Amino acid sequence: MSTVIKNGTIVTADLTYQADVLIEGGVITAIGPDLRGDEVLDATGCYVMPGGIDPHTHLEMPFMGTYSSDDFESGTRAALAGGTTMVVDFALPAPGQGLLDALSMWHNKSGRANCDYSYHMAITWWGEQVFDEMKAVVDQGITSFKHFMAYKGALMVNDDELFASFRRCADLGALAMVHAENGDVVAELSARLLAEGNCGPEAHAYSRPPQVEGEATNRAIMIADMAAVPLYVVHTSCEEAHEAIRRARMLGKRVWGEPLIQHLTLDESEYLHPDWDHAARRVMSPPFRNKQHQDSLWAGLQSGSLSVVATDHCAFTTDQKRFGMNDFTRIPNGTGGLEDRMPMLWTHGVNTGRLTPNEFVAVTSTNIAKILNCYPKKGAVLVGADADLVVWDPEKTKVISAGSQQSAIDYNVFEGKEVKGLPRYTLTRGQVAVADGEIRTQEGHGQFVAREPRPAVNRALSAWKELTAPRPVERSGIPATGV
């Protein structure tokens, strides 16, 4: 059976033009005028774009004494409802657990996915077994490794471990990733706040000022430079971190920054809300920031110093958040956003004139497909690409509400916000998963996307190699060797 999307305007990261799209066997087989197919999807008045890729989700993840409440079924259903057709989740070994063991756990969970998915592997401890298994993980198509510089005493790795793992990534042609916050300082500030009687959700934000993120981002960049590995910085939330990324990129280093839709559109005043639940539901790391930081993130997306908009979707119910009722350090960290990322970014990015539709496609899909080496299978409207597509209606509106969301939790951090710009259709490998608000997802339809490694490329790396390469010893200007 073939499907044709008719009368739409194709929008990619670099082109806007009118054409129909023919889909057969889950891939795009033709793009052009007057195409015919068995099933016709009308895209009159709509943009036909690559489906979104959310490279930062935590589905059914054990964390802070509980599990995040969206699993691969509800999480990917939420994704598709909002125009996202691929997620990249973090396989997270418990400290001491083998990477391959964790990976098989994640493969079991993701069997229920409604859309395609890949993983990053988290490095939560260091040892010979981890070193060895990193190669096996790459051989299985997982070519990005995430490191937590925060969550001291749980997931955090120290600088010696970071450097060792980064060098291993470089040798394997893998991408290094970091959650960049100075975990030692956070632990110290948290203890002090608690001792002073500051137990509420607002203290979570006080314990993680922009400086802890700026310092760790800069440190990770310098360590990555010495290890000669490209670096992806997740959830970049403030000017201090953005500044470090901007500077690295201007020096030719392969460093990418990823702001979240939450940090772009919600600010720190949320933590001063008189309702404890309201504030606790928004506790995540890094915390929401003030308007200057938000402006910095938007400027980064406009200028290209920041590359990707993600969600870090890590959803906890109100009951789970209440574990930290008397101690903010026990509030499970994380917020949802999978269903709302694309509509919120369109509303606050494209409708305000900050981003062009092409830039929207770049930061929600194409850039990350290239960074993670799954382009043009994903992130493209090209013949041969997977038919992961969204038919986007720029006139369609709704008010975001937990009552009508796909996510399994009982609230939404964007509750009450009106969005303009929503999917008319979302297609996952050619299959219509969302049609005019009707959800037709199919549990288990999603497939794992394996990714190839590639040689590490980092300009500063070559400078470092020159500095450290063995040189002949010179005496009085006369070379001692090589004569």
Task: Tell me which residues touch ligand URP (CB under 6 A).
Answer: 58, 179, 284-285, 312, 314, 333-334
Beta carbon nearer to ligand URP, 334 or 349: 334
Q: State the DSSP string of 394-448.
A: EEEEEE--GGG-SSSSS--TTTT-EEEEEEEEEEETTEEEEETTEE---TT---B
**Which neighbouring-strand residues pair with 66?**
63
Q: Say if residue 95 is preceded by a cis peptide, omega within 30 of 0.
A: no
213 binds Zn ion per the rule CB under 5 A: no
> Which of Zn ion, ligand URP, none does residue 120 bind to, with CB < 5 to 8 Å depending on kind?
none
How far apart are alpha carbons 241 and 262 in whole angstroms? 16
> Which of ligand URP, Zn ion, none does residue 204 bind to, with CB < 5 to 8 Å depending on kind?
none
Beta carbon nearer to Zn ion, 234 or 380: 234
Beta carbon nearer to ligand URP, 335 or 441: 335
> Least distance from C-beta 58 to ligand URP, angstroms?
5
> Measuring CA to CA, which residue among 250, 256, 227, 226 is closest to residue 371?
256
> Which of Zn ion, ligand URP, none does residue 308 bind to, with CB < 5 to 8 Å depending on kind?
none
Token digits of residue 297 = 């993130």
> Which of ligand URP, Zn ion, none does residue 275 bind to, with CB < 5 to 8 Å depending on kind?
Zn ion
> Which of Zn ion, ligand URP, none does residue 74 bind to, with CB < 5 to 8 Å depending on kind?
none
219 binds Zn ion per the rule CB under 5 A: no
128 binds Zn ion per the rule CB under 5 A: no
**Spatial contact of 345 and 309, defined as CB atoms under 8 Å apart:** yes
77 binds Zn ion per the rule CB under 5 A: no
Provide the 3-class DSSP secondary structure of residue 466.
helix
Name the burial class of residue 361, with classes exposed (0-12), middle (13-18) and buried (19+) by CB atoms within 10 angstroms of its CB: buried
Beta carbon nearer to ligand URP, 285 or 412: 285
128 contacts: CB under 8 Å, gap ≥ 6 = none
> Which of ligand URP, Zn ion, none does residue 240 bind to, with CB < 5 to 8 Å depending on kind?
none
Beta carbon nearer to ligand URP, 58 or 249: 58
Fill in the per-residue mask, 263 to 282: x = in contact with Zn ion (CB under 5 A), - = not in contact. Answer: ------------x--x----
DSSP code of residue 41: E
Token digits of residue 463 = 């400078």
Fill in the per-residue mask, 157 to 186: x = in contact with Zn ion (CB under 5 A), - = not in contact. Answer: ----------------------x-------
> Which of Zn ion, ligand URP, none does residue 284 bind to, with CB < 5 to 8 Å depending on kind?
ligand URP
Beta carbon nearer to ligand URP, 120 or 429: 120
417 binds Zn ion per the rule CB under 5 A: no
CA atoms within 13 A on the CB side of 116: 25
Q: Which of 70, 116, 240, 312 binds Zn ion (CB under 5 A)?
A: 312
Strands 438-439 and 474-475: unpaired
> Least distance from C-beta 382 to Zn ion, angstroms?
30
> Least distance from C-beta 449 to Zn ion, angstroms?
19
How far apart are alpha carbons 113 and 94 in whole angstroms? 23
> Which of Zn ion, ligand URP, none does residue 334 bind to, with CB < 5 to 8 Å depending on kind?
ligand URP
Strands 2-6 and 20-24: antiparallel
> Least distance from C-beta 263 to ligand URP, angstroms?
11
Residue nearest to ligand URP (CB): 333
> Which of ligand URP, Zn ion, none does residue 424 bind to, with CB < 5 to 8 Å depending on kind?
none
Q: Say if residue 376 is preceded by a cis peptide, omega within 30 of 0.
A: yes
> Least distance from C-beta 261 to Zn ion, angstroms?
13
Strands 16-18 and 9-11: antiparallel
Rounded to 5°, angle at Cα 13 from 9 and 19: 25
Contacts with Zn ion by CB under 5 A lie at: 179, 275, 278, 312
